Chain A
Amino acid sequence: MEFSQIVPMVRPAVFCSLRRFFFFTSLALIAAIPAFAAPTWTQPTPQELAMTVDPAAPDAPAVYLFREEIVDDNLHFHRVYARIKILTEKGKEQFSDIEIPYEGGMSDIRAVEGRTIHADGTIVPFTGKPYSKELVKSGDVRWMAKVFSMPDVQVGSIVEYRYELQYDDNWYMPPHFYIQQSVFVHNAHYHFVPLDLARTMKILTGKDAFGRDTVANRLLYYPELPPGVKVRAGMDGYDLLVDDIPPIASEEFSPPLDSYAYQLIFYYSEAISGQDYWKEEGKAWSKEVDRFANPSDKIRQAVAGILAPVDTDDQKLRKIYAAVMTVENTRFTRERSASENTAEELRVKTAADIWEQKRGSDDEIAWLFISMARAAGFRAYAAATTERNKSLLNGGWLDWSQLEDEIAIVNVGGKDMYFDPGQRYCEFGKLHWMHTQLAAIRQTDNGTAEIITPAAVYQDNQTLRTADLALSADGALKGTVRISMGGAEALRWRQQVLSSDEQQAKKDFDAMLQARVPDGVVVKTTHFVGLTDYSSALMVVADVSGSLGTQTGKRVFLPATFFEARAQPLFAAGKRENPVDLHYPYVAQDKVDLTLAPGLTIESLPAAASVPMPPLALYKAAYSNASSTCHEERLIALGATLFKSSDYPQLRDFFQKAGTQDQQQLVLQRSAPETSTPAAQGKSE
């Protein structure tokens, strides 16, 4: 599957399903459940039995020969039937044990049947009993799984099984069909018979994302299907037939692929159209924002205490933002239970409560900022969005709960500025990278509107690494490293300290740095500067010790790049199926001074190098020396974050070439033959 476009990260169209509906009415007509007539098994073809490799999926551990899901909301069942050809040991491990999750109390798994067919046609029926396994029980909710293991599965076997999820009469569970599986699917059939709302005269009630009662009166579905595939709607329900469905490839730096996977989502709704849904839900959301963020007297007093009459708009906003940043953000500490809030006589109803208790969730803090900005006279709005590392807004699926995070927009001098107050220590006027380039819904003066959040530019994420080092004649290294970070990297470390503590962060920083500097070098983070000051760069200072370089009889060799000497190129795999999401653009600069001890002279410096990938990336390295000091300058800049899979070879090539350049060596000559270097340390006497 390929993206239709690279930016923005958004799915077309928009709109909350009531995933489950409780049925209540005196007019209900309870449909009789017929006995579950045992269907026959499928006779495997000689080709299927003989298959050892599937030409349609040459690397597959197994393939679905056929998969079928039939759901009937009138009869309250969801049947699954699967025929899987096992092609490798991995396939055997993957598909021999079956675990079917379900919610205990309101549903059960029944009619489990199965058989294993060996490549020679021998049939081994499943005669065991599935076990009911409790996964999690909390209060009245009990998540269970039926588990069973298919008998005598071998490579070459066909595993065939079916079962039925039966749910209670007063529950309706329109299906979310995941068309793409973990392995290739040759043929699949999906069928859904929805509740006949008109004929049964049932009323489906539920709650929307804002706790409002809803009454569903129609069925909607959202199809994300292969090109040319259509859902057939008939008197007997909805049918979908698909062939040759590739699996979802798992690759590093992939966008949230679940948001792109082929799927068919059915749900009951009261929405007349998508537009209508998002408008109405947006209205409810906006009303809730306004209620919570209402600049009450307490908020106004707080703002008045923060601002000075002479402040400019920019100063006002900065002061408000700074005040909001002092509030404990429970996303990074611990969400308190209601009992704790009660114990502390705290309540969370409005922004004023958050301000008073100096604690809130990320969304509550975002709304607090909006409230205070409004109190200061700004036109401030909320925007709801997803997290780019987890999901994208799926426009055709009418489910507001996709929008999990809140950011803020403030109009300053006629121009909208974006803020991320829910991300503690995010820079003023910036968004966390996971909130950039995303579809979102924002408040406007007249209601709500769909927007795309701004993208970051590489200047937002700058890192400068400097090292001042001295190499002694015996190869010992001493010095100091200073790393100054702005943007995403600074935010990552600041938030890590919030979640753990500075001591742990130092340890983690050491580990990160240690993995990149040359062998023999030891780095110890001594301190962070500006951990809580998001308005300035975060500085990390580390001491350097240990040894540097290797030797031959005449020469000493030093890694020409200090900070990336052991770093591995970003991508190893020669081929790529998914697009690439490198999260945020950046520019990183290194400046390293290495003073050589007397007796060490430079024989050769690497040539300056430039690896361009116009217009998206650039790498440069240059080396020089003055008297006894070697100087290294290195720069890498990435101007884009999202790349098509067809761009992958170019991207991989860029990072590999940059990595190769980072492996250059500096050649020194020694004039003191008696000196020993680290290579001698391990030698026996």
Chain B
Amino acid sequence: MRTNHRGRRILSLWFSAPFRSMSGVRAGQLQAAALIAALLAGCTGSAHASKDAQLPDWVMQASTNTPLKAEWHDARAIYLLEDTLLTVAPDGKAVERYRAVVKILRPQGRNFAMPFAAFSKDEKLESFHVWSIGQDGHHYAMKDSEYVEVGADESGILYNDERVKTASPPGADPGGIVAWESTTQLPSWDSEGEWSFQNEVPTLHSAFEIDLPAGWHQYAVWFRHDRVQPAEVAPNHFRWEQNNIDGIDLSDVPLAPKWRALAARMSVHFAADPVPEGDALWAKIGDWYYQLAAPRSEGGSDIATEARTVAGDGDFMARLAKVADFMQQQIRYVGIEIGIGNLQPHAAEDVFQKRYGDCKDKATLMIAMLDAVGIRATWVAVDTARGFVDPGTPSIAGNHMIMAIEIPKGYENPRLEAVVTAKTGRRYLIFDPTNPYVPVGQLPVYLQGGYGLLAAGADSQVIPLPVLKPDTDTIDRKANFELAPDGTLKGDITVLRYGALSDRMRGSLAMDSDKEQRELVERLLQHDFSTFTLGTEKVAHVRELDQPLEMDYSITAPLYAKGAGNLLLVRPRVVGSDADGLDDKPRKVPISFEGVGTWRDDFDVKIPAGYAVDDVPDPVSVDVGFATYHSQVKAEAGTLHYKREYVLKKLELEPGEYGTLRKLESAITTDENSDAVLKKQ
């Protein structure tokens, strides 16, 4: 054992904290754990799996050769069967039995044949079994001693009691089949079963059953799939089935939405009383969460005192901004989640004392602090995968908690941009206190355009999260250069970043030392210059969220202009790129941009004495509805002026718009690479 203890986590992905993860952990998420498991299994020299074991009938049946859809020919693996049975006892406790049979088709398919079952303090794993069939037909049954347990290891989460039992089954090669079965008790508070029947690879057959006590009720909601009626296979025992489900593989898809925002699923709600539908179900879930969290926001006098000190005496926005700044700057992101702590925040008092907490803790403390200064606020459950939370699919599922701050009637302030109006008529400012780099009033881009569950007691509802105007998120690049006859370019560049889109750059720069900031600029410049020397370099307002993030630097780039006979070729678009790398494959999934915004360049290049501008690129002007792009190069008084503006107005496009987007990108790319020609006089 190593006795050195220098390893520790780095909290950079603060937004990855789970609010409530989907009940079915996907295979891809387990690759790191699987790797450890495989390593350990190798180390322990597993020797217990019995050969030619008797395999359960359901494994044998699923493994029977069935013709596969022709378009699945290049799949890495295939789920031959996924089968979930949720049995609910009269006391409301539920047990989930999950079965999977996976056939490996290609070497990379091994990743999908990694048996696993997640469990925790409140989700007891009752049983776990693994079987496999080698490509040579040998049957194996693994033994308990061959399984490995791996603890949750999520970035930013200091402690989570969730673990995974997994195994490295024999025979897991192309042509081989791996099957597993787990039985898990659902947490006592859980009244929702989830059927994630679409995987990254195709699924031949998937089924979900719920067995309810007499008199109980169920209501199923569907995401990205038409409603399917279940068969009542026994009294109050319902069964849904799906066959030939295509996989969703986004591994090489540019500008793809998040996988979990695309994969079809069904959530089934169950209860002793009739389950409400639609908005009423959202309200019920929101109220349940509100009752769970609200007591945690009751702050003590120390919180109130601090809140009043921090907030001062300004108006609503001034007080709010100061409390928000306190939360963003003073409360560190640390997740400690045990049992229902995956959902329920820690007490505001604890968070305040320790000065750390996860997303729901931060929201809770801020609610308490705002309450002390006369501002009402509440929780909004969201998911950072835009589109995952869907108005038509009421569910507690999500991975992040933010907040809604009630705006006083009639109050207006230009800083209030991320505003929604609830059915009650109340106006709320939506704010993410976990993100330290997006100012209150705005919303991080990964949340814009999604939906959230406003937990407001009986007034709970699903709300759309606003998309901010394109001119809110802006990058302005301005530069003045001077070109020497030998092609050397010298000049000063200023880049100003406004709005929520600047958060990642702010976050990176805030963490960087001066040296690392310089290296970051050098890496960025490497995209534009083969040879260059970075001169001065300065970054300003990284943490001042009410100011644009400013980067100023100077460069010298020898041989920037290329000689060609008596010509000098100069690229007027000297730095920065607005183009996205696209492919030429048929587009099947929507196109998802990081955020809407406006990008502007304004560059002057003074040409060397003795040269005249002989030729400049044509101007470009494109308007495709969802975006506009205008660019022009002018030669005036010995100077090349390059000016362009790119405005992206929509966050998401339909797959059918990919062709238009490609044309736009082609225009941008061509413009970015175009040269002006200087001729020696």
Neighbouring B residues of A665 by C-beta, 8 Å: 562, 564, 569, 675
| B residues in contact with A507, CB < 8 Å | 252
A93 to chain B, nearest CB (A): 5
A175 and B523 CA atoms in complex are apart in Å by: 40
Q: Which residues of A contact B559 (CB under 8 A)?
A: 660
Tell me, in angstroms, the Cα distance from A148 to B526 when the chains sit together. 41
CA distance in complex: A209, B511 (Å): 44
Query: Is A416's CB within 8 Å of the partner chain B?
Result: no
In the complex, the answer to whether A153 meets B170 with C-beta atoms within 8 Å is no
Q: Check: B227 CB closer than 8 A to any chain A CB.
A: no
Please tell me if A553 contacts chain B, counting CB pairs below 8 Å.
yes
- B107–A178 touching, CB < 8 Å: no
Most chain A CB inside 10 Å of its own CB: which residue of B37, B533, B670: B670
Contact assessment for A660 and B158 in the assembled complex, using a CB-CB cutoff below 8 Å:
no
- Contact between B46 and A90, CB atoms less than 8 A apart: no
**Cβ-based interface call for B239 (8 A):** no
With an 8 A cutoff between CB atoms, is B534 at the interface?
Answer: yes
B666 touches A607 (CB 8 A): no
Is A149 in contact with B334, judged by CB distance below 8 angstroms? Answer: yes
For the complex, is A176 an interface residue (Cβ under 8 Å from B)?
yes
Task: Give the interface segment out of B132-140, B207-215, B266-274, B391-399.
Answer: B132-140
CA of A104 to CA of B225 in the docked complex: distance in angstroms?
47
Residues B511 and A90 in contact, CB atoms below 8 Å apart: yes
List, in ascending order, chain A residues with CB within 8 A of B43's CB. Answer: 138
Q: Which residue of A lies closest to B338 (CB)?
A: A131
Complex CA distance for A37 and B150, rounded to whole angstroms: 35
User: What is the bound-complex CA distance between A71 and B149, given in angstroms?
Assistant: 30
Q: Is A196 an interface residue (CB 8 A)?
A: no
Which of B61-69, B288-296, B619-627 is found at the contact surface with chain A? B619-627
Cβ of A95 < 8 Å from any Cβ of B?
Answer: yes
Q: Which of A101, A499, A507, A572 has the most CB of B within 10 A?
A: A572
Query: Which residues 483-520 of A have a CB within 8 angstroms of B?
Result: 499-501, 503-504, 507, 511, 519-520
Number of interface residues of B (CB under 8 A): 112
Bound-state CA distance A93–B629 (Å) is 40
Which of A138, A551, A659: most chain B CB closer than 10 A? A138
Whole-angstrom distance between the Cβ of B459 and the nearest chain A Cβ: 35
Q: Report the bound CA distance from A95 to B621 in whole Å.
A: 51
> Is B332 a contact of A607 with CB atoms below 8 Å?
no
Confirm or deny: A228 has a beta carbon within 8 angstroms of a beta carbon on chain B: no
* Distance in angstroms between the alpha carbons of A128 and B351 in the assembled complex: 12
B503 at the interface (CB under 8 A from A): no
1/0 contact string of A55-98 vs chain B (CB within 8 Å): 00011110000000101000000101000000011101111111
Binding stretch for chain B, among A42-50, A333-341, A422-430, A462-470: A333-341
Contact (Cβ within 8 A) B158 A88: no
Separation of A680 and B670 alpha carbons in the complex (Å): 9
Contact B107 A662 (CB under 8 A): no
Q: Does B493 touch A at the CB level, under 8 Å? A: no
Bitwise interface map of A from 234 to 266 toward B, beta carbon under 8 Å scored 1, else 0:
000000000000000000000000000000000
B615 contacts A554, C-beta separation under 8 Å: yes
Once the chains bind, are A339 and B565 in contact (CB under 8 Å)? Answer: no
Chain A residue contacts of B620, Cβ below 8 A = 679, 682-683
Give Cα A511–Cα B663 distance, bound, in whole angstroms. Answer: 21
Q: Cα distance A665–B570 when bound, in Å?
A: 10
A154 / chain B contacts, CB cutoff of 8 Å:
330
B530 touching A550, Cβ below 8 Å: no
Q: Tell me whether A684 and B519 are in contact in the complex, defined as CB-CB below 8 angstroms, given that A133-B159, A147-B159 are known contacts.
A: no
Please determine whether B41 and A504 come into contact, CB atoms closer than 8 angstroms.
no
Q: Which of A288-296, A379-387, A588-596, A598-606 faces chain B? A: A598-606
| A59-B516, A343-B52 given; A572·B522 CB < 8 A | yes
Known interface pairs A93-B11, A152-B354. Does A340 touch B666 (Cβ–Cβ under 8 Å)? no
**B1 & A342 in contact (Cβ 8 Å cutoff):** no
**Residues on B close to A: CB < 8 A?**
1-12, 36-37, 40-52, 74, 106-108, 110, 134, 136, 138, 140, 145, 148-151, 153, 158-159, 163, 168, 170-173, 252, 330, 332, 334, 336, 353-356, 510-516, 518-519, 522-523, 525-527, 530-534, 558-559, 562-565, 567, 569, 584, 614-618, 620-624, 629, 663-671, 673-677
Q: Can you sample 24 A-B contacts with CB below 8 Å?
A: A20-B1, A80-B5, A93-B11, A101-B2, A103-B1, A131-B336, A137-B148, A137-B149, A138-B148, A151-B353, A165-B3, A165-B5, A175-B3, A333-B173, A340-B134, A343-B140, A503-B106, A552-B618, A552-B674, A660-B559, A679-B667, A679-B671, A680-B618, A681-B663
Besides A133-B151, A342-B47, A683-B622, 19 other A-B contacts (C-beta < 8 A): A80-B5, A90-B511, A97-B8, A101-B7, A141-B40, A141-B44, A147-B158, A148-B158, A337-B49, A504-B108, A520-B666, A550-B674, A551-B617, A552-B618, A554-B677, A568-B526, A568-B527, A573-B519, A664-B564
Nearest 10 pairs between A and B by C-beta? A682-B667, A343-B51, A659-B530, A604-B564, A339-B49, A59-B513, A338-B47, A152-B355, A660-B530, A137-B149
